[in-house]
Amino acid sequence: MTYDLYLGDYAYSSWSLRGWLLFEKFGISRSTTMVDFADSSVGAQLAKIAPARTVPAVLTPEGALLSDSLAIAEELASRHPDAGLWPQAPIARATARNLAAEMHSGFMALRSECPMNLRLSYTDTAPSDAVKQDLQRLEVIWEHARGVTDAQEHGPWLCGPYSVADAFYAPVAARIAGYNLPVGPTAQAYVQSHLADPAFRRWRTMGMVHGATLPWYAKDFQTHDWPGPKPRTAKAVNSGTPENTLCPYSGKPVTHLMEIDGRIFGMCNAFCRDKTVADPEAWPAFMALL
C-alpha cells in the first residue's frame, strides 16, 4: 500500500514537515512529489489532484484525496492501527489529540511572525507580546501533557512514545530554535529533542540543499549557527575511488562523490550526495555503509 505524498519546500513548509513526519516516523510507504515554493502558483502545481490547493496533500492508494494535515493524521492512524500514530493509553491518546488540534487551529502570532526557515538561526528577534503569549501557552500545554501522561518516564516526547502530537509540534520547535525564542528549561529540552531527532535532521538537511533560497522568508536579524547537533564534517569531491559502487539510498550506480574521514563514497545523484554531506549521521543507510 503506497500513498502519493505532495510536499512543499523542505526549508520553509512547516505543514509539509508535519505531513512528512507522519510517514517517516511511522514507517508508512509513500511516493513523494515536491511543489516548488519559488513558483507562486502552488494550486496550479496541484491541479492534477484538485481540489487540493495546499501542501501537504495525500492521494490514497484507492484515490481518496486528503488535503488537511489533521485529516491525514487521522486517516493514517485508522489505516495503520499498529503503527502507533496515537498513543495506546486512553488518557495519553486523548491528550495527544487535543494537542494536535490546538496546534492545527492556534498559535497564529507565532506562525505569522516567525515563519519556519530551517536555513537560518537568529540571535535576537525581539518577539512581540503576542508571540510571547503563544510561547507561554506552549509551555503550559506541553508541561500539562507530560505530567498527565507520565511522559517523563518514557522519554522526551509529549505523551509517551513519539506520536502525531510531536509531529505537529516539530515545526514549533524549529521556530523556537530558529528565532531564539524565550522558553523555560522544560520546553527547551523538548525543542532540543526535536533538533536531535534523526528524522527531523534528515528533513533539515534536505532543506539545506534542495531548492532556491527564498528571500521573502528571511528576517532582518543577525544570525548564528543552528542550535542543533553539530554535523560531522564531510565535503563533496569531484574525483576519487569510492568504496561503494551503488548508492546507499537508491541502489543505482554511483555518479557523485563525497569525502568523509579521508574516505570516498558515492551516490547516484547530486541531491543524494549533498544531503549526506550536510549531515552524514542523519542518514542510517549511509552510516551503515560508513
- C-alpha grid cell, residue 256: 557523485
19-51 residues labelled b (16+ CB within 10 A) or e (exposed): bbbbbbbbebebeebbbebeeeebeebbeebee
| Bond preceding residue 51 cis, omega within 30 of 0 | yes
Which domains are assigned to the chain?
3-79 (3.40.30.10), 90-202 (1.20.1050.10), 235-289 (no CATH)
For residue 264, give the amino acid letter. I
Residue that is written with C-alpha cell 505530567 in the block: 147
Helix (H/G/I), strand (E/B), else coil: 3:
strand
pLDDT at 47 over 90: yes
State in Å, rounded, how far the first CA of the chain is from the last one.
Answer: 31
Among candidates 124, 96, 98, 128, which has minimal Cα distance to 111?
128
**Cβ(42)–Cβ(49) below 8 Å:** no
* C-alpha to C-alpha distance for 92 and 159, rounded to whole angstroms: 5
pLDDT at 51 over 90: yes
Residue 57 — very low, low, confident or very high, per pLDDT cuts 50/70/90? very high
- C-alpha grid cell, residue 64: 481518496
* C-alpha to C-alpha distance for 44 and 42, rounded to whole angstroms: 5
Residue 185: predicted pLDDT: 96
Among candidates 140, 146, 69, 137, which has minimal Cα distance to 108?
137
Backbone φ and ψ of 192, nearest 5°: -65, -30
Among candidates 140, 145, 56, which has minimal Cα distance to 98?
145
For residue 221, give the amino acid letter. F
pLDDT in tens, 71-106: 999 999 999 999 999 999 999 999 999 999 999 999
pLDDT at 235 over 80: yes
pLDDT at 181 over 80: yes
Residue that is written with C-alpha cell 532556491 in the block: 212
- C-alpha grid cell, residue 69: 494535515
Residue that is written with C-alpha cell 569510492 in the block: 242
- C-alpha grid cell, residue 138: 506552549
pLDDT at 172 over 70: yes
List of residues 6+ apart from 252 with CB closer than 8 A? 246, 268
pLDDT in tens, 112-132: 999 999 999 999 899 999 999
- Percent with pLDDT over 90 in the chain: 94
Q: How far is CA 260 from CA 13, 266, 288, in A?
A: 30, 11, 14
Residue 151 — very low, low, confident or very high, per pLDDT cuts 50/70/90? low
pLDDT at 154 over 80: no
Burial classification of residue 138, based on how many CB atoms lie within 10 Å of its CB (0-12 exposed, 13-18 middle, 19 or more buried) = buried
DSSP for 86-108 reads S-SSHHHHHHHHHHHHHHHH--H
Residue 2: predicted pLDDT: 87
**Cβ(3)–Cβ(61) below 8 Å:** yes
* C-alpha to C-alpha distance for 102 and 184, rounded to whole angstroms: 20
pLDDT at 49 over 80: yes
Q: What is the mean pLDDT of residues 26-31?
A: 97
pLDDT in tens, 244-259: 999 999 999 999 999 9
Residue 24: predicted pLDDT: 98
Helix (H/G/I), strand (E/B), else coil: 124:
coil
Residue 252: predicted pLDDT: 98
